[in-house]
C-alpha cells in the first residue's frame, strides 16, 4: 500500500521539521533544543557570535591614571566599578567605541586603558 508509506514519510518529515532546524550559520541540522525559541541560529553559533572581546568576561583590566601616573589592575569590570572610577556600563561603551582614554566623572582624573584581557 504505497499511499500509506508516503503518508507515513510525510508525517515523519513534518515531525522532524518541528523538532529539528537547520542553523543558518553552521548549516547543521540540529534538534530544536539546541536553539533558543524563535532563533534560526543554534546556541553554539550564537555563543561564538556574541563572545566578542567587548562582551566576554574580563580577566584583567590594567589602567593608568594619566593625572597622577599610577597604574592599577582590576580583576574585571565589577572590580573596576567598585573602585569608584567608572561604572561598568560606561566602561563597556568606551571599549566598544575603541577609545583608550576616559575621564572619571567621579574623581575628575584622566585615565588610559593599558590593556583589557
Question: Which residue, 17 or 25, is less far from Zn ion as judged by CB?
Answer: 25
- Which triple of cell numbers denotes residue 5? 508509506
Start-end of H helices in the chain:
2-19, 43-50, 77-82, 88-96
Q: Hey, which residues between 20 and 39 contact Zn ion (CB under 5 A)?
A: 23, 25-26
* Residues between 41 and 80 with contacts to Zn ion, criterion CB under 5 A: 42, 45
Please identify, using beta-carbon distances, which residue of 45 and 85 lies nearer to Zn ion: 45
Number of chain residues interacting with Zn ion (CB under 5 A): 5
The DSSP code sequence of 41-68 is: SBHHHHHHHH--TTTSPPS-EEEEETTT
As measured in angstroms, the least distance from the Cβ of 28 to Zn ion is: 6
Amino acid at each position: 500500500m504505497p499511499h500509506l508509506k508516503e503518508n507515513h514519510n510525510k508525517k515523519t518529515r513534518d515531525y522532524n521539521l518541528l523538532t529539528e532546524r537547520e542553523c543558518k550559520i553552521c548549516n547543521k541540522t540540529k534538534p530544536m533544543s539546541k536553539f533558543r525559541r524563535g532563533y534560526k541560529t543554534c546556541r553554539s553559533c550564537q555563543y561564538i557570535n556574541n563572545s566578542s572581546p567587548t562582551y566576554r568576561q574580563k580577566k584583567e583590566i590594567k589602567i593608568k591614571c594619566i593625572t597622577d601616573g599610577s597604574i592599577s589592575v582590576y580583576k574585571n569590570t565589577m572590580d573596576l566599578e567598585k573602585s569608584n572610577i567608572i561604572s561598568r556600563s560606561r566602561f563597556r561603551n568606551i571599549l566598544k567605541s575603541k577609545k583608550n582614554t576616559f575621564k572619571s566623572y567621579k574623581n575628575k582624573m584622566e585615565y588610559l586603558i593599558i590593556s583589557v584581557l
